[in-house]
Structure 1
């Protein structure tokens, strides 16, 4: 086991133990001491890994947000697709262990404070995508950035809920197809590069953001 895998495995063990206790005796009735004992760690170790009981439930989101932030910081030829790819990365994480994801979802549904935090956490993904698009596409209308970010996040959450509320796996292809439709509806679907080098004749959907039109023209001229 690698140095990075060991802490991750330990955190997963604590999360799994906590979710078992939450399901058996309720979130409010479960203490940090009980979670630590069930996971086989000390109370101090628990607090080094998590700030509190609610942080156990949302631990994956904190790690994912940082991972997606690093992913989006790389160079991407197509910023719109980069947002879709980031959404798929997040979905792959939860779909890799649907049983754990469903147990977490069941706990969140039962606790109003956790439901409220889930809403805020969802907005953090949307804000991450929004900020990325504005930085990657200078001149992009903020309405286009927030609109695409919100729609991509909503589609992701819809497909994820299908997984969480059901008993079968929902393949990533379902989300990918839905995000392709988002791009099509938003007017930023991938198009074939122009065949001519000297003259570029381009036709774009009227709804396509001006910044995306400019990006594609520049890309065609530079190719």
Structure 2
């Protein structure tokens, strides 16, 4: 697609195009560095205009973190629709996020390298991580109004922390960085912390 071509029309077209833009941006950020790569270069590599790029992503940082918005919505939908034990539902939400990154592992590995090298992106990642934790806390408070607040906060933080540790292990290619390991650790966490 070029800047003069029509924009994607269906949601599948839009999703595919967004992933194409993200892949191109991460490729350029890997080759040139995040700070050295301009939005115009990303737009050119993706075959679109700067205007379309900003309409879809709003900022250069959003090119790195775009899937978090949709993942947060998916996790919220999963939690809202569940009849399962709320504590275990939170674990299922963490596993949903992990599965997304496992499915797109090559892209996730390259993105992790960029984020690791860019202080502003590391800060944004911390904020994003807290948004998942807060979603888990809010869900548990809603479903378990009699549960101790510190137990809710502690559990949500522990699930988020374990998820992030195992995810980073996977992205670094370390042993123990797989979905099976995450499942085992979350089960142990449930056994230890669920009243």
Tell me if both proteins adopt one fold, taking TM over 0.5 as the criterion: yes
Matching residue of 1:150: 157
2:114 pairs with one of 107, 115, 127: 107
Unaligned runs of 5+ in 1: 189-207, 209-223
Q: What TM-score do you get using the length of structure 1 for normalisation?
A: 0.80
1:167, distance to aligned residue in structure 2 (A): 7.1
Provide closer, same or farther for how the CA distance between residues 169 and 32 of structure 1 changes in structure 2, counting only shifts above 3 A. Answer: farther
Matching residue of 2:4: none
Q: Tell me, in whole angstroms, the C-alpha distance in 2 between the residues paired with 1:33 and 1:138.
A: 50
1:159 pairs with one of 156, 159, 166: 166
Between Structure 1 and Structure 2, which shows a larger proportion of helix residues?
A: 2
Matching residue of 2:75: 68
Matching residue of 1:97: 104
Matching residue of 1:126: 133
Q: For 1:28-43, list aligned pairs within 5 A.
A: 28-43=35-50
Matching residue of 2:146: 139
Unaligned runs of 5+ in 2: 1-8
Q: What TM-score do you get using the length of structure 2 for normalisation?
A: 0.91
Larger RCO of the pair (alpha carbons < 8 Å, separation 6+): 2
1:144, distance to aligned residue in structure 2 (A): 0.8
1:5, distance to aligned residue in structure 2 (A): 2.1
Please tell me whether Structure 1 or Structure 2 has the larger radius of gyration of its CA atoms: 1
Matching residue of 1:220: none
Q: Is 2:82–2:89's contact at 8 Å kept on the other side of the alignment? A: no
1:90, distance to aligned residue in structure 2 (A): 0.3
- Look up the SS of the partner of 1:73 in the other structure: helix
Q: Is 1:95–1:169's contact at 8 Å kept on the other side of the alignment? A: no
Q: Tell me, in whole angstroms, the C-alpha distance in 2 between the residues paired with 1:133 and 1:13.
A: 36
1:18 pairs with one of 20, 25, 30: 25
Structural RMSD (CA): 1.6
Q: Is 1:98–1:169's contact at 8 Å kept on the other side of the alignment? A: no
